[in-house]
């Protein structure tokens, strides 16, 4: 019997991104015994970014992905290129020298890496700059003003501006917000195109990627061994980059909550509608924990996303939950066709600090960026590559902050997350 009929090939979730990526990866599964300098488990932004940093530095790196490049959160997200890093206050307490410089790098370093890669490797990922943090309440405007002042103090090289309610309404055609912070250093992109583009770049630099290869065991030792059903990679070091989808190492499952976020994509909108709802093509996000975010795609669909208490992946149920939220902001879109609806899982640590650490001297992990994944995964990849090269300053900054263990987080994740979302929904309204 041919193997293909036995193994069910994994495909992307049916998102707008999967339908428009234009470059479907089809890397061969891992078969047989291989060896490498470094083996990376998972080919989302963290894994691919790490692999590209390592391959650029001459390491022989093998990436083992259970499904497809960008199959997890990296190929499904809002595509919002947001600055900052979650858990910043806790991180700051652990920085002893040059705090402002270190924090600036952590907040914006990922953006620089993405810009450079898009330029260096000619990655066509619909990258656009321009971003609005919108305020629902006046307290949000106070927070935006502090952020604005901080960016001014830091001589942030891109335009930032506090906008009144009227100007916000002019820019995004809705009265739903009391003002906004415009930041032309943030932006939006097609995340799956970026992830695939970076994977291609990594391979061009010498990396090897295996798809359709779930890792079932990671054996520790002087050399570590990553094992799948059909093969293994023995390596000097292993980096686990499975984030909220990882299930092999129990220690990594119990230190963050798997929180779901969902997105709907409308049909392409008429030019007249686009001119009223987002003529400047800005990405938009509110500051709530149970947040809403939206932007236009390159073909002028509205991609509207949000968190909610739902754990399934049925497109009709997702549409049912998100359409009313979108229509509240844009009543003119109440009857527009929804072409795609999908969701994905984000790893949210209790203290919100991204988790970079070691399970053994040469088995490292990197996960849990909350909603700041697009930029921070790229920086994390660089920090992990530095750690492999023995440059540990930034890695240790994170590794020294011990993750808060959540008893029952994996087994009881659904009721715990549901309660958490409810709690934050109430807090968001205060």
The CB-of-71 to ligand FAD minimum distance in angstroms stands at 4
Determine the interface stretch with ligand FAD among 69-77, 135-143, 164-172, 332-340 (rule: CB under 6 A). Answer: 69-77
Task: Find the binding residues for ligand FAD in span 77-106 (CB under 6 A).
Answer: 77-80, 82
What is d(CA 136, CA 287) in angstroms, rounded to the nearest whole number? 8
Determine the interface stretch with ligand FAD among 28-36, 112-120, 268-276, 369-377 (rule: CB under 6 A). Answer: 369-377
The CB-of-82 to ligand FAD minimum distance in angstroms stands at 5
Q: How many residues bind ligand FAD (CB under 6 A)?
A: 46
The CB-of-13 to ligand FAD minimum distance in angstroms stands at 10
Q: Which residues contact 277 (CB under 8 A, 6 or more apart)?
A: 172, 173, 174, 269, 302, 330, 332, 333
What is d(CA 6, CA 360) in angstroms, rounded to the nearest whole number? 35
The CB-of-353 to ligand FAD minimum distance in angstroms stands at 14
Scan for tokens 């001589």, then name that residue.
Answer: 155
Contacting residue, 64, 255, 282, 322, with ligand FAD by CB under 6 A: 64
Contacting residue, 130, 187, 197, 305, with ligand FAD by CB under 6 A: 305
Determine the interface stretch with ligand FAD among 27-35, 324-332, 340-348, 351-359 (rule: CB under 6 A). Answer: 340-348
Residue 54 or residue 263: which is nearer to ligand FAD going by CB? 263
What is d(CA 97, CA 308) in angstroms, rounded to the nearest whole number? 40
The CB-of-121 to ligand FAD minimum distance in angstroms stands at 18
Strands (DSSP E) found in 13-55: 32-41
Contacting residue, 17, 131, 177, 245, with ligand FAD by CB under 6 A: 245
User: What does each C-alpha distance from 10 to 211, 245, 256, 309 come to in angstroms?
Assistant: 9, 14, 26, 26
Beta-bridged to residue 63, according to DSSP, are 40, 209
Strands 283-285 and 128-135: parallel
Here the tokens at position 405 are 């263990």
| H helix runs in 299-369, sequence order | 315-329
Contacting residue, 248, 333, 350, 416, with ligand FAD by CB under 6 A: 248
Determine the interface stretch with ligand FAD among 22-30, 65-73, 155-163, 164-172 (rule: CB under 6 A). Answer: 65-73
Residue 80 or residue 382: which is nearer to ligand FAD going by CB? 80
Contacting residue, 45, 108, 148, 340, with ligand FAD by CB under 6 A: 45
Contacting residue, 34, 128, 246, 352, with ligand FAD by CB under 6 A: 246
Do the beta carbons of residue 83 and residue 185 sit within 8 Å? yes
**Per rule CB under 6 A, is residue 384 in the interface with ligand FAD?**
no
Do the beta carbons of residue 130 and residue 171 sit within 8 Å? no
Furthest C-alpha separation in the chain: 67
Residue 45 or residue 395: which is nearer to ligand FAD going by CB? 45
Task: Find the binding residues for ligand FAD in span 157-216 (CB under 6 A).
Answer: 214-215
Question: Nearest residue by C-beta to ligand FAD?
Answer: 373
The CB-of-169 to ligand FAD minimum distance in angstroms stands at 23
Here the tokens at position 41 are 């488990």
**Per rule CB under 6 A, is residue 369 in the interface with ligand FAD?**
yes
User: What does each C-alpha distance from 102 to 90, 95, 109, 155 come to in angstroms?
Assistant: 13, 8, 10, 15
Contacting residue, 29, 268, 315, 371, with ligand FAD by CB under 6 A: 371
The CB-of-362 to ligand FAD minimum distance in angstroms stands at 18
Do the beta carbons of residue 73 and residue 221 sit within 8 Å? no
Taking phi first (over 0 means left), then psi (-120 to 50 degrees means alpha), and beta for anything else, what does residue 368 get? left
**Per rule CB under 6 A, is residue 372 in the interface with ligand FAD?**
yes
The neighbour count for residue 57, using CB atoms within 10 Å, is: 13
Task: Find the binding residues for ligand FAD in span 225-244 (CB under 6 A).
Answer: 241-244
Sign of CA dihedral 215, 217, 220, 224: negative
Site residues (vs ligand FAD, CB under 6 A)? 41-47, 64-67, 71-74, 76-80, 82, 214-215, 241-246, 248, 261, 263, 293, 305, 343-346, 367, 369, 371-375, 377
């Amino acid at each position: 019997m041919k193997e293909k009929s036995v193994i069910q090939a994994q495909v992307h979730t049916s998102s707008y991104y999967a339908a428009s990526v234009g470059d479907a990866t089809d890397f061969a599964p891992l078969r047989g015994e291989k060896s490498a300098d470094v083996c990376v488990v998972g080919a989302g932004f963290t894994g691919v970014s790490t692999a590209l940093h390592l391959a650029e530095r001459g390491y022989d790196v093998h990436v083992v992905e259970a499904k497809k490049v960008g199959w997890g959160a990296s190929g499904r997200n809002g595509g919002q290129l947001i600055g900052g890093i979650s858990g910043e206050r806790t991180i700051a307490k652990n920085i002893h020298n040059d705090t402002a410089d270190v924090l600036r790098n952590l907040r914006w370093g990922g953006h620089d890496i993405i810009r450079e890669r898009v330029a260096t490797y000619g990655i066509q990922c619909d990258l656009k700059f321009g971003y609005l943090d919108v305020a629902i309440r006046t307290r949000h405007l106070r927070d935006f003003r502090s952020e604005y002042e901080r960016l001014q103090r830091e001589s942030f090289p891109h335009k930032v501006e506090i906008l009144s309610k009227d100007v916000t309404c002019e820019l995004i055609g809705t009265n739903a917000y009391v003002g906004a912070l415009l930041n032309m250093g943030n932006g939006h992109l097609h995340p799956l195109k970026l992830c695939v583009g970076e994977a291609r770049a990594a391979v061009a630099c010498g990396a090897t990627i295996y798809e359709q290869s779930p890792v079932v065991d990671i054996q520790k030792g002087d050399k570590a061994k990553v094992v799948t059903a059909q093969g293994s990679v023995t390596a000097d070091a292993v980096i686990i980059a499975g984030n909220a989808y990882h299930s092999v190492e129990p220690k990594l499952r119990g230190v963050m909550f798997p929180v779901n976020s969902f997105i709907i994509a409308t049909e392409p909108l008429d030019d007249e509608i686009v001119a009223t709802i987002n003529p400047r093509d800005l990405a938009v996000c509110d500051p709530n924990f149970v947040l809403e975010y939206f932007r236009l795609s390159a073909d002028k669909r509205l991609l509207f996303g949000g968190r909610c208490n739902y754990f399934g992946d049925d497109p009709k149920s997702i549409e049912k939950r998100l359409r009313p939220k979108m229509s509240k902001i844009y009543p003119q879109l109440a009857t527009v066709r929804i072409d795609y609806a999908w969701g994905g899982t984000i790893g949210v640590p209790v203290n919100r600090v991204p988790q970079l650490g070691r399970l053994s001297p040469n088995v490292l992990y990197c996960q849990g960026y909350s909603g700041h994944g697009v930029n921070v995964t790229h920086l994390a990849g660089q920090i992990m590559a530095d750690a492999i090269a023995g440059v540990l300053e930034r890695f240790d900054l994170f590794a020294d902050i011990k993750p808060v263990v959540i008893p029952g987080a994996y087994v009881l994740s659904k009721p715990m997350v549901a309660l958490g979302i409810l709690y934050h929904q109430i807090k968001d309204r205060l």
